[in-house]
């Protein structure tokens, strides 16, 4: 099946530093990847949609200068939280759709998530 | 507005009993419907989906879901619950031709031994 990996799984950083989270589709090409944020005991909040080779589309209320998204290849998207603050602490999850000809283009597959703690 | 409702925050069931996790949706046109499961500190795992065809869809780990167009529902079911089924379950919908997937708030399932 389609596998999405995320790295790191857990990161603790000091306030003011930047953190990069990688999302990779391991066995399929992902033209589109999605970044979500999940607060405790809550549903997923879509932050942005990233398309390979073009700028990400951010949801309303999400600061694009704070959450930098790069989708440099068909298998890799990165989310960089710049100048992180304690309120950025959260669980970040990426997702990808396999839009190749032989793939299941209907289903989103999710990474295991990254727990970010900003001290 | 397009939306997904999971009316129960929590469902409790005894091991071996059947379980149902409810989901209703409101979208224009025909929907793609999905169920995902999330274990603590993990991402979402795909369980099953309905695109078209038979209203009863079978998925992973013995789960199934029934699409009911007239009631705009897509309830998740399992004939015999296991303690290991205890997790957070999300219903999701994407309108045909749409780009974004809309997620419900999630239902926490507790299966007691």
pLDDT tens digits, one per residue of B20-70: 999 999 988 888 999 999 998 888 999 999 988 899 999 999 999 999 999
Q: Is B83 on the interface with A (CB under 8 A)?
A: no
CA distance A26 to A65: 28
Interface of B with A in 13-72 (CB under 8 A): 32, 34, 36, 41-46, 49, 51
Q: Which of A1, A93, A107 lies nearest to residue B34, judging by beta carbons? A: A107
What is the tens place of the pLDDT at every residue in A50-87? Answer: 988 888 999 999 999 999 999 888 899 999 999 999 99
What is the distance, to the nearest Å, from the Cα of residue B14 to the centroid of all Cα atoms in its chain? 19
Helix %, strand %, coil % of chain B (to 5): 5, 55, 40
CA angle A23, A20, A90 (to 5 degrees): 85
Cα B7 to Cα A78, A103, B11, B62, B72: the distances in Å are: 35, 33, 10, 23, 13
CA distance B70 to A42: 29
Binned at pLDDT 50, 70 and 90, residue A101 comes out as: low
Pick from A1, A40, A107, A116 the residue to mutate for testing the B interface (most B CBs within 10 Å): A107
């Amino acid at each position: 099946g389609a596998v999405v990996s995320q790295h790191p799984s857990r990161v603790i950083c000091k306030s003011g530093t930047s953190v990069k989270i990688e999302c990779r589709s391991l066995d399929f090409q992902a033209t589109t990847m999605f970044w979500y944020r999940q607060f405790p005991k809550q549903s997923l909040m879509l932050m942005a949609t990233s398309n390979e080779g073009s700028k990400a589309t951010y949801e309303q209320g999400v600061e694009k200068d704070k959450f930098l998204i790069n989708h440099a290849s068909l298998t890799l998207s990165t989310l960089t939280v710049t100048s992180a603050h304690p309120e950025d602490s959260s669980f970040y999850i990426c997702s990808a759709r396999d839009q190749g000809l032989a793939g299941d283009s209907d289903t989103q597959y999710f990474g295991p998530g990254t727990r970010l703690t900003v001290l | 507005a397009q939306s997904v409702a999971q009316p129960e925050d929590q469902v409790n069931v005894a091991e071996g009993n059947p379980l149902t996790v409810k989901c209703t949706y409101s979208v224009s046109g025909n929907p793609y419907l999905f169920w995902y499961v999330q274990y603590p500190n993990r991402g979402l795992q795909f369980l099953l989906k309905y695109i078209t065809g038979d209203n009863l869809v079978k998925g992973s780990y013995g789960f199934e879901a029934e699409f009911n167009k007239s009631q705009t529902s897509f309830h998740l079911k399992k004939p015999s619950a296991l303690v290991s089924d205890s997790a957070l379950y999300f219903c999701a919908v994407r309108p045909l031709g749409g780009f974004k997937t809309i997620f419900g708030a999630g239902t926490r399932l507790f299966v007691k031994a």
